[in-house]
Amino acid sequence: MNRSPWLLACLLAACDCGGPAPARPCDTNTDCPTGEVCVDMRCQEPERPDAGRDTGPTCIDEDSDGYGEGCGAGPDCDDTDPTQTGAERCDGLDNDCDGVADEGVLSACGNCDPDCRSVGFGPGRMPFDPDTDESDGVGLDDDGALVLDSRRINTNFIWIANTTEGSVSRFETTPPYNEVGRYYTGPNTNAGGYFVGNDPSRTSVNTVGDAFVGNRNGNALSRISVLGTDCPDTNGDGRVTTSRDLNGDGRISTNLADGEMLPWGEDDCLLWHKNLDDALPGERLVRAVAAQDIEGPDGELREYVWVGGYGTRRAVKLDGATGDVVLATESPVPTYGFALDGAGKLWISGRGQQRLGWIDTTVCVDDGSCAVPICAATAAEGTECDGAVKGSIPAPHRPYGITVDFNQRVWIGGDTPGTGGRTYDPHFSRYDPTAAAGSRWVTVNVAGASPFNHVVNGIAADASGWVWGAGWNGGILRISADDPTSWIMVPGTEGLNNKGMAIDAEGKVWSITMNNQATVVQPGATIDANTVTTGVASSIVGSYTYSDMTGLQLRLATNPRGYYRHVFESCDEGITPSWGELAFETETPAGTSVTFRVRTAATRADLDSAPWVTVAMVPPDGSPASIGTALMTAGVEPQRFLMLEIALRADRTSAIEVITPRVLSVDVQHTCPPIFG
């Protein structure tokens, strides 16, 4: 049939030629006029399978939908409702009268939009893959759920320096306290004495469990991974070679022919070794080491480590991942020991000057910002230097070991010159920088506790309100953190030349002695309830070590964290998507949280510079959450690519145990608008 030119032009121009009005868009039937239903997001008359057909004299169709008794389309499940035809369709209604709407006809997003797509991760879906997707500090549990990786935040190890051997040992902190690794910390091994060879002394453990070991004599620092046989292949030979207990006797043989300990430079778990001669020229006494992990602006973990030169009186900040020097600056006091607090202040035991110093690492971030005058307080309370980037105050005695407790109070061990026939008068002190003037220092002289005739060396705070001091020959001190005048010498720990002090993940107290063994104390609830085990870690050698050997002190000041990121690609190039719901299933025990953030860009390369937008924080938010709404609220246009970040955190109130949130599943929805040709 010929069509008139006028009609053809009208059709091509989509003009109003007197035809029917275009179908009304809809999401559900409630958006449509009476008598119409929503199909494929457009309002239309209900389908009538028998329309135009002879239904015969026996067809009873009360609602005129083509279904009914005796009708060719079959019976009607409800002949009073034209939407209930007996055949299910995606319209939000129960078309087949079985009590369930839209079963079997929903889109991948669980709605009636045929253009909606959903990508899901988790058990029963596409598995989370931290090895392929960008991630840090997370792994999978036995169920395939995303968790804070216990290997990366494992607090169940202690790193003890074998000073005279030039190595460091890694022990499990759960009975039977096996030695699981032993690593040389530099090329000058087995010197057999102090202040010669590598001379490793100070150890510090970061929040992923790796150890930084300072070579006191060698002017060098090494980083060693906690992952054992899961360490990276640092020498690129296609296999991981590292120290391990091959015969299962709970100790590492130092006979290299046995293969349990490797020669210097051959262990893949030695991540890097940094000589510090450029940053600390002429230094011979690296006497302070402190790991510092900082959360970057995009939620990533930035690893650093601070090293102190005692003779040069300098503090050096290194990139924890590479060992590169970030800054080197003058220290307010000679650096005998470091401890970081939760606000980023690096506290310094200044034994050579009988002063307590600090550097505010949130301000001192490069050589320029660190080049500030040092505030040297004359009064013991130090109030005149409050707010100083660098400062020092007089200490009530010569400081030795140093730590910061959970409530951000600074503790030092130490001594004064002896009286009454004693070589030393041992002391410990607590400094509270937030207390009112006149009440910041609390000092205790423990010289009267026979046979105490030496120094309180290492000092450590646990998460249960106790502080522990290592007395050289007077035993282990148990001190009330809130009332330092309440303390005891733990029976059974005397005379063991206690040097180092550390707390493990379960709250057990470790004293590293100069008698080539460790003492472990299991504290009870009261000050005099203590179970003592001696002779632990009997394979250590000349262990002159008393810093944060487990990383618990750092964990008390920072929160375990990790993240998982995945990039989603939506529509074809040039087509703008609609990002829909983020559905998730999580478990967040008390003290944990999960945050979902996104960023979007037109190309994959542009994602890295796109702004982050928070979609949900659990708690308190629940599933689902709208990605589109979050982007619109932030004024961000949706683009073709979307990066989802799942950030897991645990509060430091849970530092006495490894606790983690779980992310069991996530689903991300998007819609690409249909293209009409």
Segments making up each domain of the chain, as ranges: 22-49, 119-150+560-671, 157-557
Q: Which tens digits make up the pLDDT trace of 273-289?
A: 999 999 999 998 999 99
Cα(357)–Cα(348) distance, rounded to whole angstroms? 5
Cα(582)–Cα(464) distance, rounded to whole angstroms? 39
Q: Please give the residue that has the higher pLDDT: either 137 or 344.
A: 344
**Cβ contact 88:95 at 8 Å:** yes
What amino acid occupies position 139? G
Q: Is the confidence at residue 47, as pLDDT, over 60?
A: no
Sign of CA pseudo-dihedral 11, 15, 19, 21: positive
C-alpha angle with apex 402: 399 to 404, nearest 5 degrees?
Answer: 135
Say what percent of the chain tops pLDDT 70: 83
Q: Which tens digits make up the pLDDT trace of 581-615?
A: 999 999 998 878 999 999 999 999 999 889 999 99
Return the structure tokens found at 64: 């005129």
Q: Which tens digits make up the pLDDT trace of 244-266?
A: 999 999 999 999 999 999 999 99
Interval 95-121 mean pLDDT = 68
For residue 157, with 0-12 CB atoms within 10 Å meaning exposed, 13-18 middle and 19 or more buried, which class applies? buried
Q: Please give the residue that has the higher pLDDT: either 1 or 554.
A: 554
Q: Is the confidence at residue 56, as pLDDT, over 80?
A: no
* Closest C-alpha among 216, 196, 223 to residue 323: 223
Strand pairing partners for 536? 518
* Helix, strand, coil percentages, rounded to 5, for the chain: 5, 35, 55
Cα(382)–Cα(375) distance, rounded to whole angstroms? 9
* Residue 439: predicted pLDDT: 94
* Closest C-alpha among 607, 508, 509 to residue 565: 607
Q: Which tens digits make up the pLDDT trace of 331-389?
A: 999 999 999 988 899 999 999 899 999 999 999 999 999 999 999 999 889 999 999 99
Q: What stretches of 274-426 show up as alpha helix (H) in DSSP?
A: 367-370
**Cβ contact 243:292 at 8 Å:** no
Strand order in the sheet with 220-224: 200-205, 211-215, 220-224, 270-275
* Residue 85: predicted pLDDT: 67
- In the three-class reduction of DSSP (H, G, I as helix; E, B as strand; rest coil), residue 302 is classed as strand
Cα(337)–Cα(354) distance, rounded to whole angstroms? 13
| 119-150+560-671 under CATH 2.60.120, yes or no | yes
Interval 551-556 mean pLDDT = 76
Say what percent of the chain tops pLDDT 90: 61
Which helix (H) or strand (E) covers residue 9, if one does? Answer: helix 5-12
C-alpha angle with apex 551: 545 to 554, nearest 5 degrees?
Answer: 115
* Closest C-alpha among 489, 549, 442 to residue 155: 549
Band the pLDDT of 22: cuts 50, 70, 90. Answer: low
Distance, CA of 568 to chain centre? 24
* Closest C-alpha among 640, 634, 661 to residue 650: 661
Q: Is the confidence at residue 88, as pLDDT, over 80?
A: no
* Closest C-alpha among 105, 97, 104, 84 to residue 37: 84
Q: Phi/psi at 103 (nearest 5 deg)?
A: -70, 135
- In the three-class reduction of DSSP (H, G, I as helix; E, B as strand; rest coil), residue 271 is classed as strand
Q: Which tens digits make up the pLDDT trace of 382-426?
A: 999 999 999 999 999 999 999 999 888 999 999 999 887 778 899
DSSP 69: B
Give this prediction's pTM: 0.71
Q: Which tens digits make up the pLDDT trace of 169-225?
A: 999 999 999 999 999 999 999 999 999 999 999 999 997 789 999 999 989 999 999
Cα(313)–Cα(310) distance, rounded to whole angstroms? 5
Interval 435-447 mean pLDDT = 93
Cα(72)–Cα(399) distance, rounded to whole angstroms? 98
- In the three-class reduction of DSSP (H, G, I as helix; E, B as strand; rest coil), residue 82 is classed as coil
Q: Phi/psi at 674 (nearest 5 deg)?
A: -65, 150
**Cβ contact 401:418 at 8 Å:** no
Interval 159-168 mean pLDDT = 97
Domain 157-557 sits in CATH at 2.120.10.30
Interval 58-62 mean pLDDT = 81
Distance set, CA 195 to CA 79, 287, 315, 497, 623 (Å):
97, 11, 20, 19, 60
Q: Which tens digits make up the pLDDT trace of 474-512?
A: 889 999 999 999 999 999 998 888 999 999 878 899 999
Check for a shared fold between 119-150+560-671 and 157-557: no
Q: What is the mean pLDDT of the chain?
A: 86
* Residue 494: predicted pLDDT: 87
DSSP 87: S
| Cis amide linkage into residue 20, ω under 30° from 0 | no
| Residues in Cβ contact with 676 at an 8 Å cutoff, skipping those fewer than 6 apart | none
Strand pairing partners for 533? 520
* Residue 183: predicted pLDDT: 98
Alpha-carbon torsion angle 623, 626, 630, 635, nearest 10:
180
